[in-house]
Amino acid sequence: MFVSNKEIEIRYAETDQMGVVYHSNYIIWLELGRTQLIHDLGFSVTQLEADGYVSPVMDISIQYKAAMRYGQVATVRTWIESHGKLRTVYGYEVLHEDGTVAVTAKSEHILVKKESFRPVSLGKVDPKWDRKYKEIERKEA
């Protein structure tokens, strides 16, 4: 299984009054992880958008396990959980520097034409990208 890693230096502005990372910031970090995965595979979200396509989130689930704080470095691990004709599910872990899991999450995306929001298959837009996702999607044991 191919896993991409993205380090995030936790900024003071990302914390709440209790001194821990505010919950919605993790979702921003998941998107950083997703775009890092795409970049690591040699593809470009920017080019996809320039070609007239966007990939909205259809569903997201996140489980908070261990608080993170200002000054720490988080590592977002991202992989392809599943990839079908119209939907891709990304899997994530956000880890403390010692490997402790802070967050687990999944996000489900579709690909749509920017002007109409009509769904389109990644295989029709970029067959190479589609094949790569099918190749690396998580295989259950």
| Whole-prediction pTM | 0.95
Residue 13 predicted with pLDDT over 90: yes
* DSSP string computed for 23-34: HHHHHHHHHHHH
d(CA 107, CA 96): 21
- Each residue's pLDDT tens digit, 25-34: 999 999 999 9
d(CA 124, CA 9): 37
- Each residue's pLDDT tens digit, 100-109: 999 999 999 9
d(CA 21, CA 66): 10
d(CA 45, CA 31): 11
Residue 123 predicted with pLDDT over 60: yes
- Each residue's pLDDT tens digit, 73-88: 999 999 999 999 999 9
d(CA 126, CA 43): 10
Residue 140 predicted with pLDDT over 70: no
From the list 16, 40, 126, 130, the catalytic residue is 16
**Is 16 a residue of the active site?**
yes
Residue type for 60, please? I
